[in-house]
């Protein structure tokens, strides 16, 4: 039987069972909107699917039923006649479905009588008894009689073979038992559901001989017989099982496996005894059971693709295109839950590719392409993820159209667009309400598609990406994590710890040996291996996981020895993630095991080095290494080993140090300068010709306003011609440009301002990447651009300067924020830590109006500090505002709990000033 | 363990009025008696092998297998910031389910189930060590000693924060 049809039948029969139950309730309580709504929805679904499958008779009946129910739903009074007739139409639908299940075709004939009655009722008229009887009789006779004709010719050999070949989907259960029940059940002799008895279908299609006879009898047969036939034909071919039940089953089986392993271990120690044979049998059964349960969860992705060839074929007809659908990797197994989730997005995307992606035949020929458009669907594993690619060789995405649409939907400004790469622009098609199709076809173009696709995929922790080349086609790449999936993993050991590496990411294993050709060599501190005339970057697993080495070396020599030991006798696991290949150095390699990935607990979710954890056969829990996380780490490491090492050193010096993104630039002189990236609004290049000198300073038109340009104190000057890079700082509606010579880089680095320079405009010098770098004081330049840059904020408080205590362990932030806050009209006193702050607060000169405190500080953190203040009778009314580089809802909530008035991001200068003002205002009103 | 389970059959906490009583399981951490609301405790077990998790927060002892479920174990001594030397060679853990994940609080010893009168309950004293105050819901004044009530949500939530 056509898979589409069989699925429809299974679903519909299930729906109808629900309808039956609902109808009973409906009869008792005809005015219950919920029940009616349920029935309405089910019938509506049947109608919709019928249209798609080409079942006009069913569709017409369902449609008429739906119309009447729609009327009731809209508030028309429900009559007994109405309920009866709805019940009758549902019975008729079941009859038709029974025929369908048997003969794969709708019985010829129509249900005009029933439909007419439904219409009469929909129009609010009453029925006459006569018409009712006539109609129901007619439809029944017709249904039965016509089925004879249908069954004669409709089943052909190919469909019979299809049935035989059709594999059970996981989640479906073979119905041997049910089949047996069928055969022993009383009723018309030889009717067999085609899928149930494969042996007979192979020989000759049995319904041909069997059903005419029985069906001929049907018109005169009593109702019971009709019912039994209906029930039998519609018995579902699979049983739906709650996933939770499967999950629980899985857990139990794992437990069983563990117990079995323990028993086997005992047996091994005790040698031969009478338990041996039964234990072995237990062992085998357990293994089979485990496999079986596993199977119930896994489905080949091909199951989600089954409908696609048909859809594409119909589409090709509708759109008059020639489309070739190629499917690769249909046997890639996926967890059924994941599969369910990606089924619809996939269908949608394939449709999109065929509809929007591929050009019409004429266009293709004009473009010199083969007239047959190709849509290629492939699935494979990569680095512990499942990748599904949908590729077409069509026209590619229309960048200009997307741009227009972006502007139309106000998703970005023109300026932002001009900074985007083509790929970034393309990604906007995943935004809500985005469709570039000129004409909304029945197929696609309603603009609900791609964002739903993205959401669905993200729900299961995956992501979707696209690459599109104009004229060549587009490729969508869906990446689904292996959580929930079963993978084969390589178990490796380092320092007595074991970890699992997904086998899919492992390319090969190399034994490192000091004397052999596979020798670990070092370039500076980066380890590499010569592997087939290529250098393979290496990383030690214990390093990347920051494990303590077992023996703590006492001096340099011993350290080298231990290093050598691992590096001379270790193993190198060669990993490939996407285009990147690298090696992980481990102590031991155990074996491979099939593991079920379980998600990490919320407390561990932030560690991107692990993708999950699992329980091994021996019952212990091990962490599963995420090759992607490791690749990210290693590429950072490779990119700048030196920076990493410095970071390491600074880390040792000050464990709690946070890193800051710094923008490095040159402005006058060769030494680099830096400014925290988050203070910079944007980087611009302005044309020197556009600069207009006015009243002693340079101005430039920027976003419809005049923006003053400033120069780094006493150093650089404007170029003669060409384009000049400018850092733009914005505040509300004002912008200021700082002219620089060259923008160098953006660096994530811990910031320690070491040398304070008594020089305006410079906070001090810091060592960044081993080079002395001047850190700019933006607070110095802002008032130069607009004299009232800060003042305008605190007009109300002009005459009463508030005293502010700033607590931050980082000298950099103290130095950066003090001038900003001073400029905003506060008398700023700083403290290095909460303890010092408390001393100040409890000391003589303690008349503070507000406290601004960092959260991450050694010894006593901001939360504790706030709590202490809150618990102090003398201080508890003092408002305190938190300042943190980590803003999470949890942190904010906690901040409120311990008594912070507000929570501001560290670099949100404007936010801080506003928060302070608001806090003081609220405080003032309260007082 | 089974005796604990049976206690669940007693009238649930919701039935007792504010001035009534509540049931707590007592546990010992660093010579201090703590109480956990009985309804929050799933089971008490002896963790066998705990796998440490690199790069995780300091308070996380590791992960372990409890009858097929993966449980994240939290070292309560570390959580409370007290010395880690325990005289007990065998450690115990209290199993808790929070936001549909399983956690195990590693403690020194499990005591008994107490039915306590809410009249004896009061808020944390102000001078309580902030690390303790963070996780404590309040204190019961019992005849011989004080019982600090652990707030499971706080024990686990603050960890969330640090991990973030």
Length of chain B: 164
According to DSSP, residue A234 is labeled T
pLDDT in tens, B47-93: 888 898 988 888 889 999 887 788 999 998 888 888 776 666 678 89
Please state, in angstroms and rounded to a whole number, the distance separating the CA atoms of residues A674 and A666.
8
Q: What is the pLDDT of residue A141?
A: 40
Contact B64 A623 (CB under 8 A): no
Q: Which residues pair with A325 in a beta bridge?
A: A375
Phi-psi region of A496 (alpha: psi -120 to 50; beta: other; left: phi over 0): left
Q: Which numeric CATH code is attached to A302-481?
A: 3.30.565.10
Cβ contact B130–A864 (<8 Å): yes
Chain B residues with CB under 8 Å of A249 CB are none
The CA-to-CA distance between both ends of chain A, in Å, stands at 80
Q: Which residues of chain A have pLDDT under 50?
A: 129-175, 177-178, 180-182, 185-222, 438-448, 483, 485, 551-558, 640-657, 790-799, 927
A243-300: CATH topology is Helix Hairpins (1.10.287)
Dig out the tokens for A115 from the structure: 């439909």
Give the dihedral sign, CA A209/A210/A213/A216.
negative
Strands A506-511 and A571-577: antiparallel
pLDDT value at residue A292:
81
For residue A872, the chain B residues in CB contact (below 8 A) are none
DSSP structure class, residue A330: T
The DSSP result for B43-91, as a single string, is EEE-----B--TTS-TTEEEEEEETTEEEEEEEHHHHHT-----S-SS-
For the CA atoms of B29, B31, B33, B39, the dihedral, rounded to the nearest 10 degrees, stands at: 20
Q: B100 CB near a chain A CB, below 8 Å?
A: no
By three-state DSSP, how is residue A484 classified? coil
Task: Show me where the domains of chain A are located.
Answer: 3-233, 243-300, 302-481, 487-639, 649-785, 791-926
Task: Name the residue among A251, A252, A606 with its Cβ closest to that of B164.
Answer: A606
Alpha-carbon dihedral sign for residues B130, B134, B136, B137: positive
B160/A327: higher pLDDT = A327
A754/A763 Cα distance (integer angstroms):
10
pLDDT score of B105: 93
d(CA A282, CA A47): 51
Cβ neighbors of B2 (< 8 A, separation 6 or more) are none
Q: Name residue, tokens 């690749």.
A: A631
Distance CA A371, CA A570 (A): 56
- Residue A881 has phi, psi (to 5 degrees) of -115, 135
Q: Which of B55, B71, B125 to mutate to test the interface with A (most CBs of A within 10 A)?
A: B55
If we measure between CA atoms, which residue out of A460, A464, A462 comes closest to residue A449?
A: A464
Kindly state the DSSP code that residue A356 receives in the 8-state scheme: I
Q: Which CATH number fits domain A3-233: 3.30.420.40, 3.40.50.300, 2.40.160.100, 1.20.120.160?
A: 1.20.120.160
What is the full DSSP assignment across A376-426?
EEEEEEETTEEEEEEEE-S----HHHHHHHHHHTTSS-HHHHHHS-HHHHH
> Between chains, do A603 and B70 touch, taking CB under 8 Å as contact?
no
Q: Residue A859's pLDDT is what? A: 74
Residue A276 is predicted with a pLDDT of: 85
- Determine contact, residues A243/A171, Cβ cutoff 8 Å: no
Cα of A212 vs its chain's centroid, Å? 54
Q: Please state the three-class secondary structure of A449-502 as a single string.
A: HHHHHHHHHHHCCCEEEEEEECCCEEEEEEEEECCCCEEEEEEEEECCEEEEEE
Q: Provide the 3-class DSSP secondary structure of residue A154.
A: coil
- Can you give the C-alpha Rg of chain B in angstroms? 16
For residue A320, give the 3-state DSSP assignment: coil
Q: For chain B, positions 106-135, list CB contacts with chain A under 8 A.
A: 126, 130, 133
Please enumerate in sequence order all residues whose Cβ is within 8 A of that of B127, keeping only pairs 6 or more positions apart, or say none: none
Task: Return the pLDDT at A345.
Answer: 82
Contact list, B156 vs chain A (CB under 8 Å): 603
CB contact at 8 A, A350 and A311:
yes
User: Mean of the per-residue pLDDT values for chain A?
Assistant: 72
- Asked whether A663 and A680 are in contact (CB, 8 A), the reply is yes
Q: What is the third-level CATH fold of B2-163?
A: OB fold (Dihydrolipoamide Acetyltransferase, E2P) (2.40.50)
Provide the greatest CA pair distance for chain A. 109
Cross-strand partners of A467: A475
Alpha-carbon distance of B158 to A898, in angstroms, equals: 12
Q: Confirm or reject contact between A718 and chain B (CB < 8 A).
A: no
The answer to whether A85 touches A71, Cβ cutoff 8 Å, is no
Read off φ and ψ for residue A499, nearest 5 degrees. Answer: -135, 155
Residue position matching structure tokens 């006492």: A554
What pLDDT was estimated at residue A361? Answer: 85
Q: Please give the pLDDT value at position B27.
A: 93
Residue A721 near residue A688 (C-beta atoms within 8 A): yes
- Nearest one of B142, B151, B135, B133 to B112, comparing CA atoms: B142
Alpha helices in A767-861 (DSSP H): 778-785, 811-823, 834-842
d(C-alpha A235, C-alpha A241), whole Å:
16
CA distance B41 to A379: 44
Per-residue pLDDT reduced to its tens digit, A647-665:
444 444 443 345 667 788 8
Provide the edge-to-edge strand list for the sheet that holds A463-469. Answer: A322-328, A372-382, A385-392, A473-481, A463-469
> Among all residues of chain B, which has the CA nearest to that of A257?
B68
Q: b/e per residue, A270-289, with b = 16+ CB within 10 A?
A: eeeeeeeeebeebbeebeee
Q: Could you give the strand order of the β-sheet that contains B32-37, starting from the edge strand earlier in sequence? A: B109-117, B21-29, B32-37, B146-150, B136-141, B121-122
At A728, phi and psi to the nearest 5? Answer: -105, 130
Integer Rg of chain A from CA: 37
Residues in chain B with CB shorter than 8 Å from the CB of A246 are none
Alpha-carbon gap: A547 to the closest alpha carbon of chain B (Å): 7
**pLDDT value at residue A130:** 43
Euclidean distance between CA atoms A909 and A565, whole angstroms: 52
Q: In 10 A of CB A807, how many CB atoms?
A: 27
The second-level CATH assignment, the architecture, of A649-785 is Beta Barrel (2.40)
Q: For domain A487-639, give the CATH number.
A: 2.40.50.180
The domain made up of A791-926 is a member of CATH 3.40.50.2300:
yes
Number of neighbouring beta carbons within 10 Å of residue A198: 16
pLDDT at B94: 93
How close, in Å, is residue B3 to chain A by CA atoms?
Answer: 23
Which of B65, B156, B163 is the best residue to mutate to test the A interface, defined by the most A CB atoms within 10 Å of its own CB? Answer: B65
Question: Cβ contact (<8 Å) for A603 and B160?
Answer: yes
% of chain A surpassing 90 pLDDT: 2
The answer to whether A546 faces chain B, any CB pair under 8 Å, is yes
**Is-contact A63 A111, C-beta < 8 A?**
no
b/e sequence B121-148, b meaning 16+ C-beta within 10 Å: eeebeeeeebebbbbbbebbeeeeeebb
Do A487-639 and A649-785 share a fold? yes
Contact (CB<8Å) B163/A606: yes
Dihedral (CA of A169, A174, A175, A179) sign: positive
3-class state of residue A782 by DSSP: helix
The candidate with the shortest Cα–Cα distance to A12, out of A102, A94, A99, is A94
C-beta neighbour count of A619 within 10 angstroms: 19
CB contact under 8 A, B57 and A603: yes
């Amino acid at each position: 039987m056509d898979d589409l049809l069989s699925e429809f039948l299974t679903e519909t029969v299930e729906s109808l069972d629900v309808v039956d139950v609902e109808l009973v309730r409906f009869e008792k309580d005809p005015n219950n909107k919920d029940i009616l709504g349920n029935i309405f929805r089910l019938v509506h679904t049947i109608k919709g699917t019928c249209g798609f499958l080409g079942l006009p008779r069913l569709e017409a009946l369902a449609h008429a039923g739906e119309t009447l129910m729609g009327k009731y739903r809209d508030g028309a009074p429900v009559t007994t006649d109405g309920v009866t007739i709805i019940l009758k139409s549902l019975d008729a639908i079941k009859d038709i479905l029974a025929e369908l299940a048997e003969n794969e075709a709708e019985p010829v004939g129509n249900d005009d009588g029933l439909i007419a009655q439904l219409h009469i009722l929909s129009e609010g008229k009453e029925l006459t008894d006569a018409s009712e009887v006539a109609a129901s009789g007619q439809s029944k006779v017709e249904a039965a009689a016509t089925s004879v004709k249908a069954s004669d010719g409709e089943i052909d050999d190919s469909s019979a073979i299809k049935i035989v070949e059709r594999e059970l989907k996981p989640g479906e259960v073979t119905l041997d038992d049910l089949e047996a029940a069928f055969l022993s059940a009383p009723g018309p002799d030889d009717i067999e559901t085609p899928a149930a008895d494969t042996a007979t279908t192979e020989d000759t299609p049995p319904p041909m001989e069997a059903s005419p006879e029985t069906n001929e009898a049907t018109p005169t047969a009593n109702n019971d017989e009709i019912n039994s036939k209906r029930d039998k034909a519609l018995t579902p071919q699979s049983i739906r099982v709650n996933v939770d039940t499967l999950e629980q089953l899985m857990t139990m089986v794992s437990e069983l496996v563990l117990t079995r392993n323990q028993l086997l271990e005992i047996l091994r120690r005790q040698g031969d005894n009478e338990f041996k044979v039964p234990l072995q049998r237990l062992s085998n059964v357990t293994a089979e059971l485990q496999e079986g349960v596993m199977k119930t969860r896994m489905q080949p992705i091909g199951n989600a693709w089954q409908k696609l060839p048909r859809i594409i074929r119909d589409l090709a007809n509708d759109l008059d295109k020639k489309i070739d659908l190629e499917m690769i990797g249909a046997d890639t197994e996926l967890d059924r839950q994941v599969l369910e989730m990606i089924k619809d997005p996939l269908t949608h995307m394939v449709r999109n590719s065929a509809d929007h992606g591929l050009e019409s035949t004429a266009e293709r020929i004009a473009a010199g392409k083969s007239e047959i458009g190709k849509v290629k669907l492939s699935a494979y594993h990569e680095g512990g993820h499942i990748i599904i690619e949908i590729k077409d060789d069509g026209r590619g995405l229309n960048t200009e159209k997307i741009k227009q649409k972006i502007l139309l939907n106000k998703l970005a400004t023109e300026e932002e667009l001009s900074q985007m790469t083509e790929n970034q622009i393309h990604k906007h098609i995943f935004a809500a309400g985005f469709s570039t199709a000129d004409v909304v076809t029945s197929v696609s173009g309603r603009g609900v598609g791609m964002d739903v696709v993205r959401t669905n995929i993200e729900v299961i922790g995956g992501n979707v990406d696209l690459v599109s080349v104009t004229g060549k086609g587009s490729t969508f790449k869906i990446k689904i994590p292996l959580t929930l999936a079963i993978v084969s993993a390589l178990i490796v050991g380092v320092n007595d710890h074991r970890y699992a590496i997904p086998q899919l990411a492992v390319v090969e294993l190399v034994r490192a040996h000091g004397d052999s050709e596979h020798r670990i060599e070092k370039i500076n501190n980066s380890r590499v291996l010569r592997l087939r005339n290529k250098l393979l970057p290496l990383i030690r697993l214990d390093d990347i996981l920051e494990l303590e080495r077992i023996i703590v070396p006492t001096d340099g020599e011993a350290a080298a020895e231990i290093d050598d030991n691992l590096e001379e006798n270790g193993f190198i696991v060669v990993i490939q993630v996407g285009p990147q290949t690298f090696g992980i150095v481990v102590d031991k390699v155990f074996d491979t095991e099939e593991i079920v990935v379980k998600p990490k607990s919320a407390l561990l979710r932030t560690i991107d080095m692990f993708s999950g954890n699992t329980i091994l056969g021996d019952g212990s829990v091990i962490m599963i290494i995420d090759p992607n996380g490791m690749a990210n780490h290693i590429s950072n490491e490779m990119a700048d080993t030196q920076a990493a090492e410095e970071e390491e050193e600074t880390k040792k010096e000050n464990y709690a140090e946070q890193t800051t993104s710094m923008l490095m630039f040159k402005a006058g002189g060769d030494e680099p300068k830096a400014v925290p990236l988050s203070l910079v609004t944007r980087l611009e290049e302005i044309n020197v010709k556009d600069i207009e000198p006015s009243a002693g300073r340079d101005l430039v038109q920027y976003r419809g306003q005049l923006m003053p340009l400033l120069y780094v104190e006493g150093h650089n000057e404007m170029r003669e011609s060409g384009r000049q890079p400018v850092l733009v700082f914005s505040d509300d509606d004002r912008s200021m440009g700082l002219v620089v010579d060259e923008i160098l880089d953006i660096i994530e680095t811990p910031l320690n301002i070491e040398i304070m320079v008594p020089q305006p405009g410079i906070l001090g010098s810091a060592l960044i990447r081993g080079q002395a770098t001047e850190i700019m004081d933006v607070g110095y330049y802002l008032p130069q651009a607009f004299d009232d840059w800060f003042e305008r904020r605190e007009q109300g408080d002009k005459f009463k300067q508030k005293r502010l205590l700033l607590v931050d362990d980082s000298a950099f932030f103290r130095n950066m924020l003090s001038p900003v806050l001073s400029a905003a009209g506060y008398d700023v006193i700083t403290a290095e830590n909460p303890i010092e702050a408390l001393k100040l607060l409890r000391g003589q000169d303690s008349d503070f109006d507000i406290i601004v405190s960092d959260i991450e500080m050694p010894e006593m953190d901001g939360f504790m500090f706030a709590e202490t203040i809150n618990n102090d009778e003398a201080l508890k009314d003092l408002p305190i505002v938190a300042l943190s580089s980590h803003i999470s809802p949890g942190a904010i909530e906690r901040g409120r709990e311990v008594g912070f008035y507000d929570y501001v991001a560290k670099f949100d200068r404007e936010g801080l000033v506003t928060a302070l003002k608001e806090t003081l205002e609220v405080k003032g009103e309260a007082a | 363990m089974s005796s604990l389970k049976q206690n669940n059959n007693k009238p649930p906490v919701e039935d007792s009025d504010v001035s009534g009583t509540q049931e707590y399981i007592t546990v010992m951490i660093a010579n201090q008696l703590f109480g956990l609301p009985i309804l929050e405790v799933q089971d008490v077990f002896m963790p066998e092998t705990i796998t440490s998790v690199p790069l995780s927060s300091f308070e996380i002892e590791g992960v372990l297998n409890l009858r097929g479920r993966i449980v994240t174990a939290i070292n309560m001594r570390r959580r409370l910031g007290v010395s880690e030397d325990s005289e007990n060679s065998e450690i115990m853990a209290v199993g808790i389910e929070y936001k549909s994940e399983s956690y195990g609080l590693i403690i020194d010893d499990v005591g008994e189930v107490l039915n306590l009168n809410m009249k004896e309950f009061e808020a944390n004293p102000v001078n309580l060590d902030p690390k303790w105050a963070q996780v404590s819901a309040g204190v019961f004044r019992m005849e011989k000693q004080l019982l600090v009530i652990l707030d499971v949500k706080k024990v686990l939530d603050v960890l969330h924060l640090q991990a973030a």
